[in-house]
Amino acid sequence: EADRLELGRHRVHLVVEEYWNTAEVLIDVVPAGAPFFVSDVDGTLTTSENAEAWDFLLGTLPDPHPFAAEALSLLASKGYRPMYITARPEWLDRRTREFVAVHGFPPGLIHTTLTYTGGTGDTAAAYKTEELAMLAGKGLVPSWLFGNKDSDAKAFDTAGVPPDHR
């Protein structure tokens, strides 16, 4: 009980002594029922579903949809916490964080798959369904969901969010 983190955002710095590798972890501790939204990234925030693949090869970041950052920032300004759930592979985590920051999206938690290849179609739907179920198991159901693919809609159908909020 004494080691419990208080409500709020906590930055934890990790060090692997043997190799002196470091990592930073952000932990958001929120009460059950806290208002938040979830957005997909590729094709939802980027201008096309495959923009990241091309831009990764070119060493640039994808362009965002016009006004997407402003829309999500408006929700954040009203007290909704941002969360981005993408079926991108884990090794694109840093580029995803950079995309969010550079294009002015509100900072929030970013979950990628833990796989090397990421997921599309049914694999992406299953991953996002599991992520949303994990949140629901902690008493957290998003107020708003944003996506652009059938796989997003399939995952959102199981999240308990009214259709007019997704």
**pLDDT at site 23:** 83
32, 85 Cβ separation under 8 angstroms: no
120, 137 Cβ separation under 8 angstroms: no
- For the chain, the C-alpha Rg in angstroms (whole number) is 16
81: left (phi over 0), alpha (psi -120 to 50) or beta: beta
The β-bridge relationship of strands 36-39 and 81-85 is: parallel
Distance, CA of 137 to CA of 158 (rounded, Å): 13
Task: Note the pTM of the prediction, 2 decimals.
Answer: 0.88
Residue 148: closest CA among 124, 112, 118: 124
Distance, CA of 143 to CA of 3 (rounded, Å): 30
Specify burial of residue 52 (Cβ count, 10 A radius: 0-12, 13-18, 19+). Answer: buried
145, 156 Cβ separation under 8 angstroms: yes
Residue 36 β-bridge partners: 81
**pLDDT at site 138:** 87
What is the residue-level pLDDT of the chain in tens, covering all 166 positions?
Answer: 788 899 988 888 999 888 888 888 888 888 888 899 999 999 999 999 999 988 999 999 999 999 999 999 999 999 999 999 999 999 999 999 999 999 999 999 999 999 898 898 999 999 999 999 999 998 889 999 999 999 999 999 988 888 888 8
Residues for the chain: how many in total?
A: 166
